[in-house]
Amino acid sequence: MSSLRNSVQRRPHRERAQPLERRRLGLLEKHKDYSQRAKDYNQKKAQLKSLREKAADRNEDEFYFGMMSRKGPGAKIKVGRSWNGRVEGDRGNNTGLDTDTVRLLKTQDLAYVRTMKQVAVKELARLEEQVVLTKGLDQLDEEDDDDDDDFDDFNDGASRRRSNSNAPRKIVFMDDEAQRDEVLQDEGETTKREDQDKAFERAENLRGLKRKLEHSRKKVKSLMTAESKLEVQQAKMAKTATSGGSTRRGKKIMVRQRKR
């Protein structure tokens, strides 16, 4: 009987998706998602309940010698309401490195920072040159346009014939003067539009270069700050007293030189 029931083709099961008007709310939550979320919530609630019971049933007279060298939850009595629950002291995971190893790591970090600073300085110089060249090209184009206008006013026909002597000529016949003026006006508008597009493109490129230049300057400044900090840390960790540092009381550290 079951084989006969399974032989009949059934309607395929498709999970209901989130409607289009509610797509902004994310995926539609299924029952398995709710079950997983509820299971996690109940598990955490049971764990908190167990911890509260352990805290309520603790022995007030319990004592270990480790309590003498460690500040535990009893510090709440001293601190008061500002106590945040943090347990101070050694938790057994203090695997600090010795001074020589840390000094060596600081040296490697300083070398890496210096290398990256050199790369950033070269990039900054390249961007500054590009910005200066872009501004200079714009000024040269403006001066050339002014010179062309003055020269055209002085001698229009002869200069154009000499400049375009080698260029191929295109002869266009017009019916009347009105059509000729219309064609010349269209050509002038097209040339003007092309000049405006070129000027806009150059301005966009210049703005992009300025943004990159500002970002590169910030990068160089941050690397120089990191380099100076690492140098101070390395000097303070030296085996002999070095100048440039200061003690906790504000007294400057001077170099002890050998008498000659």
- For 98-116, the three-class secondary structure string (H helix, E strand, C coil) is CHHHHHHHHHHHHHHHHHH
133 in a structural domain: yes
115 in a structural domain: yes
Neighbours of 196 (CB within 10 A): 10
Range of the domain at 211: 99-162+179-230
pLDDT of residue 48: 95
pLDDT of residue 37: 94
- Residues of the chain short of pLDDT 70, as ranges, are 1, 66-81, 83-96, 136-189, 239-248, 252-260
The separation between CA 106 and the C-alpha centre of its own chain, rounded to angstroms, equals 25
Beta bridge partners of 179: none
The separation between CA 205 and the C-alpha centre of its own chain, rounded to angstroms, equals 21
9 in a structural domain: no
Dihedral Cα 23, 27, 31, 32, nearest 10 deg: 170
18's CB contacts (< 8 A; 6+ apart) are 25, 26, 27, 28
pLDDT of residue 183: 64
CA of 165: how far to CAs of 122, 160, 169, 214, in Å?
46, 8, 9, 48
119 in a structural domain: yes
Share of residues in the chain with pLDDT > 70 (%) = 59
pLDDT of residue 151: 47
pLDDT of residue 117: 92
Backbone angles phi, psi at 252, to 5 degrees: -75, 145
105 in a structural domain: yes
Query: What does the block give as tokens for 189?
Result: 């508008």
32 in a structural domain: no
What is the tally of structural domains in the chain? 1
22 in a structural domain: no
27 in a structural domain: no
- Residue written as tokens 């600090």? 96
